[in-house]
Homo-oligomer: A and B are copies of this chain.
Amino acid sequence: MPGNAFGTAFRFATWGESHGPAIGCIVDGVPPRIPLTEDEIQPWLDRRRPGQSKFVTQRKEPDTVRILSGTFDGVTTGSPIALIIENADQRSRDYSEIKDLFRPGHADYTYWKKYGIRDFRGGGRASARETAMRVAAGAVARQVLAKAWGDIFKIRGAMIKMGPLCINDERWDWDIVSDNPFWCPDAKALPLWERFLDTVRKEGSSAGAVVEIHGEGVPAGLGEPVYDKIDADLAKAMMSINAVKGVEIGQGFASAALAGEYAHDAMRMLGGEVVFKSNRSGGVLGGITNGQPVIARFAVKPTSSLLKPQQTVTVDGRETMAITKGRHDPCVGIRAVPVGEAMMACVLADHWLRHQGQTGRQPD
């Protein structure tokens, strides 16, 4: 059975290969009368676009999105929304040298084992180019949620770790996140991060990252017990992003080390409303949102395409060394930030629509 779609009530399905003529997606389940034109989608794509700094792949892709269906006079109609992006710079020649060998850490070996076919052009479906359509679908999800929840709703992400380098939480400043090539929220960390990644890039190596996504203004009550908990769906969403190897909600792995009395969020009343004295849970209790910001974190492993030689084998069972000369990201975590934001937007939109169908009432 196919695995190219995500979501249930808000559902999108993507298609296209890294080096085919185009990539695209269908977004289905969008309620009618939501404002939507290309102008609402393009800015989010621009944030993910390659070639914007020396720290990301130099592939030249304008990533211009077109809406082919599902809107009329600038609003959605309730019909499926088809989005398409032409591939402009699908230089397959870069891949000729690796045509017959498997790159360690890359999906080409497992695709070959699964399908018995080899599309050597830059990873085919396994390429991170697919994530452009996640960002596009996420932009549609944001429109759905913005109409439902208003200005209070916001999703934003940051890179909180690059390779071995951390940030200082105390210096977290959302205002600088969009102004640096790393989505780093700690101004003081920036110079070191730049020097580090420059070295990595020149050495032909690569670096991993940890990305954190915040969803603010999310009402309480979203999430379906027992197996479609909203944190379970977030985990699936984040883990499905290329190169992600771990996902956390709230305190995550750190919570394992805490004593029970320090691991939960005390509750108090404030102005007639329930308030939490902390957000250790990351906004989710029992798989359902509690009205606090939803906080998810994920780990991205270093890019598997390296200039440094790696031991590998060929399709016909010969031992050799892999060196990837194509255009690649020294730290794919950078471009994973807008993708992680988009996936959270899609999960929230999905659970918002599911909740309405499930309970027949608006969450508080």
From residue 271 to 322 of chain A, which have CB atoms closer than 8 A to chain B? 272, 274, 277, 281-282, 284-291, 299-304, 306, 308, 310-313, 317-319
By a CB distance below 8 angstroms, the chain B residues around A33 are 115-117
The answer to whether the Cβ of A63 comes within 8 Å of any Cβ in the partner chain is no
From residue 1 to 42 of chain A, which have CB atoms closer than 8 A to chain B? 1-6, 8-9, 11, 13-17, 20-24, 26, 28-29, 31-33
Mark the stretch among A46-54, A169-177, A181-189, A256-264 that contacts chain B: A256-264
By a CB distance below 8 angstroms, the chain B residues around A313 are 267-269, 274
Question: How many copies altogether?
Answer: 4
By a CB distance below 8 angstroms, the chain B residues around A248 are 245-247, 253, 299
A69 near B247: Cβ-Cβ < 8 Å: no
Please give the number of chain A residues whose Cβ is less than 8 angstroms from any Cβ of chain B in the complex: 151
The answer to whether the Cβ of A126 comes within 8 Å of any Cβ in the partner chain is yes
The distance from the CB of A236 to the nearest CB of chain B, in whole angstroms, is 4
Give the contacting residue for A110; candidates B5, B115, B200, B285; CB below 8 A: B285
B302 near A255: Cβ-Cβ < 8 Å: yes
The distance from the CB of A192 to the nearest CB of chain B, in whole angstroms, is 15
A26 to B226, CA, bound (A): 14
The answer to whether the Cβ of A361 comes within 8 Å of any Cβ in the partner chain is yes
By a CB distance below 8 angstroms, the chain B residues around A337 are none
The answer to whether the Cβ of A65 comes within 8 Å of any Cβ in the partner chain is no
The answer to whether the Cβ of A251 comes within 8 Å of any Cβ in the partner chain is yes
Q: Which residue of B lies closest to A166 (CB)?
A: B257
Using A232-B240, A288-B114, A319-B269 as known contacts, say yes or no to A261 and B109 having CB atoms under 8 A apart. no
Using A116-B33, A264-B104 as known contacts, say yes or no to A68 and B250 having CB atoms under 8 A apart. no
B79 near A124: Cβ-Cβ < 8 Å: yes
A271 to B277, CA, bound (A): 57
Q: Which residue of B lies closest to A29 (CB)?
A: B2
The answer to whether the Cβ of A164 comes within 8 Å of any Cβ in the partner chain is yes
By a CB distance below 8 angstroms, the chain B residues around A341 are none
B32 near A265: Cβ-Cβ < 8 Å: no
A sample of 30 cross-chain residue pairs with beta-carbon separation below 8 angstroms, ordered by A number, consists of A1-B8, A1-B357, A2-B80, A2-B224, A3-B229, A15-B68, A16-B82, A24-B68, A72-B117, A72-B124, A78-B114, A78-B115, A102-B267, A104-B265, A107-B288, A114-B221, A114-B288, A114-B359, A163-B257, A227-B240, A231-B245, A232-B235, A235-B239, A245-B250, A245-B256, A245-B282, A248-B299, A274-B313, A355-B357, A357-B357
Contacts A78-B111, A260-B303 supplied; 7 other A-B pairs, CB < 8 Å: A4-B80, A14-B80, A113-B288, A246-B247, A246-B255, A258-B301, A267-B313
